[in-house]
Structure formats: C-alpha cells, structure tokens
Amino acid sequence: MNKTLQLCEDGSYTLFSEKAGECYHSIHGALTESLHIFINAGLRTLTENYSIGIAASGNESKSVQSKETFIKESLFRQKGLASDFKPIRILEIGFGTGLNALLTAIEAEKNKIPVSYLGLEPFPISRSIVQQLNYCELLQGNSLPYFKTMHECEWDKEYLIQPVFNFRKLQVGFMEAGLANGVFDLIYFDAFSPEAQPELWGQEVFNKCFRVLANEGILVTYCAKGRVKRALKAAGFVIENLPGPPGKREITRAQKLIQ
Ligand SMILES: C[S@@+](CC[C@H](N)C(=O)[O-])C[C@H]1O[C@@H](n2cnc3c(N)ncnc32)[C@H](O)[C@@H]1O
C-alpha cells in the first residue's frame, strides 16, 4: 500500500494513503486536529473528572497526596504487584502514525495521570516514513524515545513507555480483535472516512464499541455525519456535537451511559 508524506498547514506532516484515497489527518493540521479531537474533547474530559474525583476526596494537600498514591498504585499494578487501582484505559482504532498515542503519553506525563493504551493497526507504516514524521520536533521536549518505542516495539507486548504510560499495540483490525467487554474508558475512533472505509462505520462496529467500553466511557471521532451519529445512537450512545478543528464544523463525542 503506497503512502506519501504531506505537509499540513500547521507545519506537521500527515500521510496520504493511495489505497484509501485520502490523508490520515486534516490537511489543515495533523497535530492541531489530534490535539483538538482526541486530547481536548477526549482524554481531557476524563482527566478533568479524575482531578475532580481526587479533589472531592479531601482538601488541597490531601488531594495531592492521594494523586501520588494513585500513581504509585498504578505502577504496582502494571508490574503485577496487585492493587485494585485502574488507570484510564484507551483503545485507539487506527494507530497509524502514532500521533494520538504520542500526544496521550505527553499529556499523561504532564498531569501524572496513569494511562493504559491499546492501539490497533492492521497496516503499519514503514520505518522510513516514521523517521520522517516531525511530531517530536514540533512538540519539543523529550518525546522522541516514546515515539520510537511505540513504533519499534513488538506487537502484542506491554511496554511501560514512561512511568504513567503503559502501551500495547495489536496488528489486527477492530472487528477481528478479541476484546473483552467493558474494559475501556475511552475510544479514539480514527478510521479512514465512511466513504473510504464503509465497513468500519456500520452498526455492528458501533455495537462492538459500546460493548467494549465501561459504563460512562466515551468515544470521540472527527466524523459528524448524520448516519454515523444515528448508528452510534442505535448502539446505545448519548451523542454530543462539539465544534471541530480548523476546516471542520463539528466533531462527535459519544458516551455510554447505563442507568
Ligand atoms: C485516518 S488514519 C488515522 C491513523 C492514526 N490515528 C494517526 O493519527 O495517524 C486510519 C488508520 O486506520 C487504520 N485501519 C485500517 N483498517 C483498520 C481496521 N479494520 N481496524 C483498525 N484500524 C484500521 C489504517 O491503516 C490507518 O492507519
């Protein structure tokens, strides 16, 4: 499958897929789009609730202490040392360039919020393309080692990429992936468009998304098409229309809410 680099308006690269006939991101800005949709409208919704949850448990100094304990417990758990603690569990449908995973790892580190990330990608990009992506350069900081590990690590193996970011990727399509029910808090739904990849936007797909999410879990996607929102609703989701990034009027956030 042929993929070529394209420079977006914000200076970040995206890829054009000849097979899909479209880019991996908006040509207005890969970085801008990913931050807007997946980090701001997705991850931050959960991390804000997380902070509120901690704050509600006591005064300011106590809440800081609780947060540290929370992280420590997460690390213990990731090392198989027990604890009933659960990090934010994210499923990405379409790992691709790894941009969403990279931004999530940075956000998790910045806020000291434990995240467990599973990326699905049946058609990984080549090493030579990965080396030309300029995300780490644009983001500055020291994220390059994370990005390299995400791309170079083995499939279906867990990596503690940094103290609060646990990562695993599977080389499989979403519908073929064996995923347990109720195990994710957040889905980054980042497949190619319904026109390019209709099989990933059908009712069965959203029914599966609903099943694998925990109650109160959310799904975010750049797509705001009426038929996609109808399929999400029919699966049981509650829908929100949110303002989109440059070049896109609206995006969709869907929540699983079982009374
Ligand atoms: C629009 S691109 C976005 C990729 C990625 N999120 C990024 O930021 O680079 C869609 C991705 O979905 C992947 N994909 C294709 N079929 C898939 C499937 N059945 N399940 C999961 N991902 C799939 C493609 O290979 C591609 O990497």
| Tens of pLDDT, residues 49-66 | 665 554 444 433 333 444
Residue 141 makes CB contacts below 8 A (sequence gap 6+) with: 106
Please work out whether the CB of residue 107 comes within 6 Å of at least one atom of ligand 1. Answer: no
Domains and CATH numbers, the chain: 3-255 (3.40.50.150)
Q: Shortest CA distance to 47 belongs to which of 99, 112, 121, 1? A: 112
Instruction: Compute, in angstroms, the gap from residue 119 CA to the centroid of ligand 1.
Output: 10
Of 24 and 53, more confident: 24
HEC sequence for 138-160: HHCCCCHHHHHHHHHCCCCCCEE
The pLDDT score that the predictor gives to residue 65 is 40
Strand partners, 186: 90, 218
Q: What is the mean pLDDT of residues 157-164?
A: 95
Q: Which of 82 and 204 is assigned the larger pLDDT?
A: 204
Pocket-testing residue among 8, 22, 24, ligand 1, by greatest number of atoms within 8 A of Cβ: 24
Average pLDDT of span 104-132: 96
Atom nearest to 97 CA in ligand 1? 9
pTM: 0.89
* pLDDT at 97 exceeding the cut of 50: yes
For 226-257, write each residue's pLDDT tens digit.
999 999 999 999 999 999 999 999 999 999 99
Cα–Cα distance, 243 to 230 (Å, whole number): 19
Name the residue at shortest CA distance from atom 17 of ligand 1.
173
